[in-house]
Structure 1
Amino acid sequence: MADKAAFHVIVLGPSGGPREDRVTGLLVRSTSTTWSPDSVVAVDAGTLLAGIIRLLAEYMPSKDEQNVLQEGPFAGLQLPCETAEANAAHVFREIIGAVLITHAHLDHISGLAINTPILEAGSGPKPVAALPSVLSAMKNHMFNDVIWPNLSDEDGGAGLLTYQRLVEGGNPRFGRGEARGYVRACNGLLTKCLSVSHGRCKQKYHPESGAHHRVGSAVFASDQLMLPSRAISVDHTEAGAFYSPARSPRLLPANQKDSGLATVESSAFFLRDHSTGNEIIVFGDVEPDSVSLEGHNKLVWDTAAPKIAAGTLRAIFIECSYNDSIDDAYLYGHMCPRHLAAELTILAAKVVDMRDSAAQADKKRKRAGTTIVGDVPPDQVSPKSKRSQSNSSGVNMNINVNCPTQSRNNSIVEKDMPDATLAASARAESFSLPGGPGAAPADDSIPNSSSWADSNPLPLAGLSVYIIHIKEHLTDGPPPGDQILRELRAHGEAASLGCEFFLPDPLQGIWI
């Protein structure tokens, strides 16, 4: 499988806590490159050196063997040093070309902070790329000479890190065709970042200055809007065992939806292999749109759907922190199987729409004997051209189906939509997963999967979904990931998604 793969992914940290040595951290490289300088990008760095050392120690050759790893996720890596620790430092300094950060919570950046001082022996500052609000939080509240030394190259720091502020949704000044908006992540890989929601909090930060004002206490409840779990040691159930500052506006009284709560911004990184054009998505912590009421995930699915329809999006790495026994009030900006399956059902409906639109366009092309404008990929047409083309051709490849928020692209007038597209829109009536505690919330924006249940292939066939950020119980009994995986597979089968769900093994590389 490695011979045909475009990506090699190593999940250093598959967990969402509470163990500090297994929290979120992934390494990604293109298979078109060797283990050469700047050939790997790290996505999040809750665990970084500790995870690399653990894996190298597992497979280090004996002294009388050649100094190239023969097994394990780092197979083929040239070992310039004798110990796992020294070789891990070499990987961090030289092989990892950049670090992408989804959001500034400690379980995603603590390894970077602790590990950065060893870069002094490297060959220049290490790029840290993220959305401006994420870098602002790190700059003002981590690398600030108070919580941790300022190791960046800004504001008189030590210069070991350099911040790269990403344009949300991609920078259209870079790339052409399908790669437009992507920027270099490392040798062989490009990236584009979209914003997602990780719950709400009562702290507001200016995205650049870092100045903040308090809308209320960050720890102790001062009014009736505060969820019980926001106060320390109130909820002693398993569901409330993990304290988090994030909470959902859906759980507040109807007249308090605009109560001054600020969105905790997280990210979804599209990673594109420069050689093949194949892609994967790596999510940071994320909550469902049905809970956030903001529609950020919909924009990610709008971008992903044509890539799945074209067969270029190969895998998604996304969190699913709890099993379905969790109540929405205790999700704290995270996912559970019922919500993740509902989100993937929305994605599946968009893929079906893309295929229906393509089939309708193909019929028109055969009838007319000419090429129609709808065949041009949306990212190769200017917004002004899109408006005129959607009226003249009757085809729009970025269809927004039953979502409360408007897409980035111009909406399409119903009378201009082809019959197949109208049918696809009409089928987004209602969707519910199997009843009981794991039932999906009633949501008119979730499509009815029965319309594609008998299709071949199913809409997400060929897509691998890897589950990360699982909250560990640290109790006797089966690992929590086992139940989460069972529930996801049951929901996926009930919704006729066609994708496969996996729990990544930190001791094995993933070839995609």
Structure 2
Amino acid sequence: MAALPAPLAAEPVRPHVFDVVPLGVEGGIEEGATTAWFIAPRGGGAGLTCDAGTLVPGIRAAIDKGGFPAGTKASTVLHERIRAYLVTHPHLDHVAGLVMASPDDVAKPIFALPEVNAALAQDYFNWSAWPNMADRGKPPFLRRYGYRDLTPGVPAVRVEGTGMTVSAYPLSHGGALSTAFLIEAKGDALLCMGDTGPDAVEKSSRLGALWQAIAPLVRQRRLRAIIVETSYPNARRDEDLFGHLTPRWLNAELERLAKEVGDRSLMNGLPIVIGHIKPSIDGSDEAARTIAGELNDQPSAGVKYIIGQQGRRLGF
């Protein structure tokens, strides 16, 4: 899709700080393509995933499409390059890959809000749905994964082996708790957001609080990109959103961010990476094309919208 026009006074191109490989970008139905984003410092090799709805099929797709270097083995990515998992919320399309790959994975942490980690222990790694591959919940503990609880608003926590830190902010998702993760490296940041509805529909103030928290990073030109869902086209009724966004609502929320930033020109060209579009059962890409068109019809604050594609590496 065509990018938005560049600002009239274009700033010098800055070197990328983050490599992002979408392992899965769908909002359901496609079992091998549900939400997962591999994020690493540029050229650093080792990183983490923000959500893990798909792992091995997404890694294979990324190798085929150049997201990882030619000749890379899927096992190398799973065992060596992915050093940790960030889980925004425990819905199946965000954790299925993590659960399925766990018997063949290596030891690593799962970073999440306490309620999310508790749900993973209770609903998945419980010796009923799946063996307990973690270090909490129903014994015996196989300890493949270690739950690392994050506290909202607490200074960033180091993710060992990646050169990155992470902090967590709660989001409202149709009555469920979701999470936005602020990932920082080399003095800059990237925001990876889980499923969320707009504050006005959710009767929440969580997005407003998130915009307040990240506005200083935009003013300082330290926020490199935002990864966010847009599940449905604008024709979807508010009462049928079930905790998701449309282009109209995303633009409205980004307008709120622009107001927090103060100087709207500082939003010009900010990459907004779109994922979690709900696919058609029949395989049509009509929803994605409609959403892409609606985003660019009324762009908010000069941001640059990018539709995430499975396996296609992005740099920010």
Q: Which residue of 1 aligns with 2:280?
A: 473
Secondary structure at the counterpart of residue 480 of structure 1: helix
- Whether 2:295 is the aligned partner of 1:488: answer yes
- Whether 2:5 is the aligned partner of 1:11: answer no
Give the unaligned 5+ runs of structure 1. 60-71, 80-86, 171-180, 201-263, 356-451, 453-457
Q: Which residue of 2 aligns with 1:26?
A: 37
Q: 1:484 to 1:283 in 2, by over 3 A?
A: same
For residues 119 and 225 of structure 2, what CA distance do their matches in structure 1 show? Answer: 29
Q: Which residue of 1 aligns with 2:3?
A: none
Q: Which residue of 1 aligns with 2:68?
A: 74
> Given residue 351 of structure 1, which amino acid in structure 2 is its aligned partner?
V
Q: Which residue of 2 aligns with 1:139?
A: 121
For residues 75 and 195 of structure 2, what CA distance do their matches in structure 1 show? Answer: 27
How far is 1:73 from its partner?
1.4
Q: 1:51 to 1:199 in 2, by over 3 A?
A: same
Q: Which has the larger radius of gyration?
A: 1
- Whether 2:162 is the aligned partner of 1:168: answer no
Secondary structure at the counterpart of residue 277 of structure 2: coil
How far is 1:475 from its partner?
3.3
For residues 126 and 329 of structure 1, what CA distance do their matches in structure 2 show? Answer: 39
Q: Which residue of 2 aligns with 1:207?
A: none
How far is 1:505 from its partner?
2.2
- Whether 2:109 is the aligned partner of 1:127: answer yes
Q: 1:128 to 1:2 in 2, by over 3 A?
A: farther
For residues 157 and 2 of structure 1, what CA distance do their matches in structure 2 show? Answer: 49
Give the unaligned 5+ runs of structure 2. 1-11
Q: Is the 8 A contact 1:169 1:195 kept in 2?
A: no
Q: Is the 8 A contact 2:25 2:277 kept in 1?
A: yes
Q: Is the 8 A contact 1:32 1:188 kept in 2?
A: no
Q: Which residue of 1 aligns with 2:174?
A: 199
For residues 184 and 173 of structure 2, what CA distance do their matches in structure 1 show? Answer: 24
- Whether 2:241 is the aligned partner of 1:266: answer no
Q: Is the 8 A contact 2:59 2:311 kept in 1?
A: no
The higher-RCO structure (CA 8 Å, 6+ apart) is 2
Deviations 1:228-250 (A, max 9, x none): xxxxxxxxxxxxxxxxxxxxxxx
Return the match for 2:95 from 85, 105, 109: 109
Deviations 1:101-148 (A, max 9, x none): 0000000001100001012xx4xx210110000000000111000111
**RMSD, aligned CA:** 1.9
How far is 1:54 from its partner?
2.3
Q: 1:291 to 1:187 in 2, by over 3 A?
A: same
Superposition map of 1:6-405 within 5 A: 6-31=17-42, 33=44, 35=45, 39-56=46-63, 58=64, 72-75=66-69, 79=72, 87-119=73-105, 122=106, 125-154=107-136, 155-170=139-154, 181-185=155-159, 186-200=161-175, 264-273=176-185, 275=186, 277-352=187-262, 355=263
Superposition map of 1:422-501 within 5 A: 458-475=265-282, 477-492=284-299, 495=300, 497-501=301-305
Deviations 1:455-490 (A, max 9, x none): xxx341131101100000133754311111111112
Secondary structure at the counterpart of residue 470 of structure 1: coil
For residues 268 and 476 of structure 1, what CA distance do their matches in structure 2 show? Answer: 29
How far is 1:507 from its partner?
3.3
Where is the strand percentage greater, Structure 1 or Structure 2?
2
Deviations 1:38-78 (A, max 9, x none): x210110001111102222x26xxxxxxxxxxxx1112x77
Q: Is the 8 A contact 1:40 1:97 kept in 2?
A: yes
Return the match for 1:507 from 289, 308, 311: 311
> Given residue 157 of structure 2, which amino acid in structure 1 is its aligned partner?
V
Using the aligned pairs only, state the percent identity: 32
Q: Is the 8 A contact 1:12 1:506 kept in 2?
A: yes
How far is 1:90 from its partner?
2.3
For residues 476 and 48 of structure 1, what CA distance do their matches in structure 2 show? Answer: 21
For residues 182 and 283 of structure 2, what CA distance do their matches in structure 1 show? Answer: 37
Q: 1:266 to 1:477 in 2, by over 3 A?
A: closer
Q: 1:194 to 1:475 in 2, by over 3 A?
A: same
Secondary structure at the counterpart of residue 135 of structure 1: helix
> Given residue 169 of structure 2, which amino acid in structure 1 is its aligned partner?
L
For residues 14 and 87 of structure 2, what CA distance do their matches in structure 1 show? Answer: 29
> Given residue 111 of structure 1, which amino acid in structure 2 is its aligned partner?
G
> TM-score, normalization: structure 1?
0.57
For residues 129 and 116 of structure 1, what CA distance do their matches in structure 2 show? Answer: 15
> Given residue 271 of structure 2, which amino acid in structure 1 is its aligned partner?
S
Q: 1:3 to 1:116 in 2, by over 3 A?
A: farther
Deviations 1:18-47 (A, max 9, x none): 1111110010000152x2xxx210110001
Q: Is the 8 A contact 1:2 1:511 kept in 2?
A: no
Secondary structure at the counterpart of residue 90 of structure 2: coil
How far is 1:2 from its partner?
11
Q: Is the 8 A contact 2:24 2:32 kept in 1?
A: yes
Q: Which residue of 1 aligns with 2:9?
A: none
Q: Is the 8 A contact 2:19 2:43 kept in 1?
A: no
